Structure 1
Amino acid sequence: MPHRLTRATNVALGINIFLLIIKGIVGIISNSIAVISEALNSFTDVLVSIGIKIAVKISRDKPDTKHQFGHNAAQPLAAFILAVFAFVVGINIVEESVKRLIEPKDIKISTSVYVVLIFTIVSKILLNRYQVKIAKMFKSPAIRAASIDSINDVLASSIALLGVIGASMNLNYIDSIAGIMVAMFIFKSGYEVAKENMDYLMGRSADHQFDSKIKDITLKINGVKGINDLRSHYVGNKFHVEIHIEVDKDISTKLSHDIGNEVKYALEEIEEVQKVFVHIDPI
């Protein structure tokens, strides 16, 4: 598992650095705000990739005296911080695009511009498919956030390509409009990532379907007569579960304890669960 997650972050980082370099060069040569916006978008992607790489590494660290329940919050925290940064970059792109809309600048379109943008679209589609697979496999919110960003990059690059086509027809205002639209996709990506990871950071409870799964597993354990309370919340990207089970009041304390442990171990086998706290209620 660690190897696959690390490889996923390294692949994304390598692709984003390469795209940043080629889009930066072509953007400067062409002076197209749509392409320059794409270069800035790739710059944020590089920072996102670095942040996710660090967060994935930290999240795998074992619990210590200061973080006794582990470091699972590292991934959603990194994703949220990077989402905020995406908003800042988007604002700067909108500002420059509006300036160019008011005072148009000369744009030099060459074949390399089309090649770079088309290459970006194709590579980001492939990267998104890979990231979605890894995110589902390991339940990684950071990789999931990166996959959202990648598919939004596909849309942003497509808009930039239309802007370049417009500029090649001496319709420079289309390039400026494309720059603004690229920024909108950056905003969209940041919003989606922030919204998804806010649940982890705020400790949202599990949904009814997950609660039902918890109850079904618990009630199948020999000695459990019923459940009178169940609570859960995210700690990082994993759930902590508190459950009150009912057992026969006439059985020994040891047997009650053993039943509680069986419930605990059974529920902690669920991939989304990190820790289970069982309270015994004799009836």
Structure 2
Amino acid sequence: MIQLLVHKFIPNYMQTKDAQVRKQYGVLGGVLGILCNSLLFLLKLLAGLAAGSIAVVSDAFNNLSDLGSSVVSVVGAKLSSRRPDSGHPYGHGRAEYVSALIVAFLIILFGLELLKSSAEKIFRPEALSISPMTVGILVLSVLVKLWMWSYNRFMGKTIDSPILLAAARDSLNDVIATSAVIVSTFLSPFVPFSLDGFMGLVVSCLVIWTGYGVARDTIDKLLGRKPEETLRRQLEKRILSNPIVLGMHGLMVHDYGPGRTIASVHAEVPENLTLVEVHSVIDKIEHQILNELNVDIVIHMDPVPVPDAAAKAEHVLDAGQNPGDTKPDML
């Protein structure tokens, strides 16, 4: 089902590094979220008001916050796909991170409101009037949210989108929260306290925790965290695999949004090789990294006095070998 939708609405769905394809993934995920959450909000709100259940009403407004998150994700997808301009030479990819941060704040805000309403319900309990229709709506909600978790997770991992992965995490929390509400509706008549209010507290705390997790991960990316170990090793492997590169230092990686990574590094090369010779090899390494890792890297050449290694590198160049095919000696 999910793959059928992707194939139908995203013509070049395999080109996940392309900005326009990423936008189409984000818009598709956001539109599906808007449709599903709108339906769930209306059904749960009506069911919760009819039953007099704060837990069900809280769950409904949780879906309303998800609806707002889906709108933000669509806007973020469209903004992040815009081409670089004179004012933003590195593109607009971080708009996706900003969108995810807005989503996180919305989740936390609604969680706090639900926390307040649930506390009031505990101190001023009211009798519940649960009908089969209410239970049916809640069960339907669990099934819909499981599907939403599945498609958000699939598309989020496909394009490495923080906002879609955040939506997937939120959908899974909604499954847990709604399941807890279903349990509370059955147990409420058999307990001497407001189980509905306490369950509302649990749901609201879960909502707040989800928002905190999304905000923490997104802020890390906006502030500029260190490169992942896997990426660092991949860069080192491709740079040091060339025999004229004797060492490297000063690696810096900048994240300008999903699919837009810029890096710089100092490569140590023999000092007796000409600038033209070294530049030709360095240029090939930069293109290799861009094509294989989608990292736009700038390699600065640092000449170092290593006579033996320099002679070997000069021999490789004179013989017309591909430097990338020869492994460097262990120095």
- Please report the TM-score for the alignment, with normalisation by the length of structure 2: 0.80
The reply to whether residue 155 of structure 1 matches residue 203 of structure 2 is no
Match of 1:54 among 71, 75, 96: 75
What is aligned with 2:262? 240
1:11 aligns with 2:32: yes
| Match of residue 120 from structure 1 | 141
- Cα deviations by residue, 1:33-65 (Å, 9 ceiling, x for unpaired): 010001110010000001011111111111111
Say which one has the larger Rg: 2
Runs of 4 or more above 6 Å deviation: none
Within the candidate set 277, 280, 289, 1:258 is matched to 280
TM-score by length of structure 1 reads 0.93
Q: C-alpha offsets along residues 201-229 of structure 1, whole Å, 9 cap, x if unaligned?
A: 11111133321111001122463232132
- Distance in 2 (alpha carbons) for counterparts of 1:132 and 1:18: 21
SS of the counterpart of 1:228?
A: strand
**What does 1:157-196 align with in structure 2 at a 5 Å threshold?**
157-169=178-190, 173-196=194-217
> Once the two structures are superposed, what CA deviation does each residue of 1:149-195 show, in whole Å capped at 9, x if it has no partner?
11111111111112222335475601111111110110121012112
**For structure 1, which runs of at least 5 residues remain unmatched after alignment?**
none
* Counterpart among 55, 69, 79 of residue 34 in structure 1: 55
Mapped partners of 1:171, 1:221: distance in 2: 74
The whole-number CA distance in structure 2 between the counterparts of 1:59 and 1:221 is: 36
Q: What is the identity percentage for the equivalent residue pairs of Structure 1 and Structure 2?
A: 24
CA deviation after TM superposition for structure 1 residue 271, in Å? 4.7
| Structure 2 residue ranges without an equivalent (≥5) | 1-12, 14-20, 305-331
Secondary structure (helix, strand or coil) at the match of 1:136 reads helix
CA distance in 1, matches of 2:195, 2:40: 23
Q: Which moved more, 1:246-255 or 1:73-82?
A: 246-255
Q: Secondary structure at the match of 2:244?
A: coil
The 8 Å contact of residues 200 and 234 in structure 1, kept in 2 or not, is answered as: yes
| Residue equivalent to 1:86 | 107
User: Is the 8 Å Cα contact of residues 108 and 207 (structure 2) preserved in structure 1?
Assistant: yes
Matching of residue 104 in structure 1 with residue 125 in structure 2: yes
Q: Secondary structure at the match of 2:210?
A: helix
Change (3 A) 1:271 1:148: farther
Distance in 2 (CA, whole Å) between partners of 1:217 and 1:113 is 59
The residue number in structure 2 matching 1:267 is 289
Paired residue for 2:9? none
Measure, in 2, the Cα distance between the counterparts of 1:78 and 1:171: 44
- Cα 1:119/1:168, change in 2 over 3 Å: farther
- State the alpha-carbon separation in 1 of the partners of residues 280 and 51 from structure 2: 71
Q: Deviations over 1:114-155 (max 9, x none)?
A: 111111111111211211111111111111111111111111
8 Å contact from structure 1 (residues 224, 259) kept in 2 = no
Between 37-46 and 75-84, the greater mean CA deviation after superposition? 75-84
1:245–1:281 Cα contact (<8 Å) kept: yes
Query: In structure 1, what is the Cα distance between the partners aligned to 2:234 and 2:176?
Result: 38
Q: For residue 261 of structure 2, what is the amino acid of its counterpart?
A: F
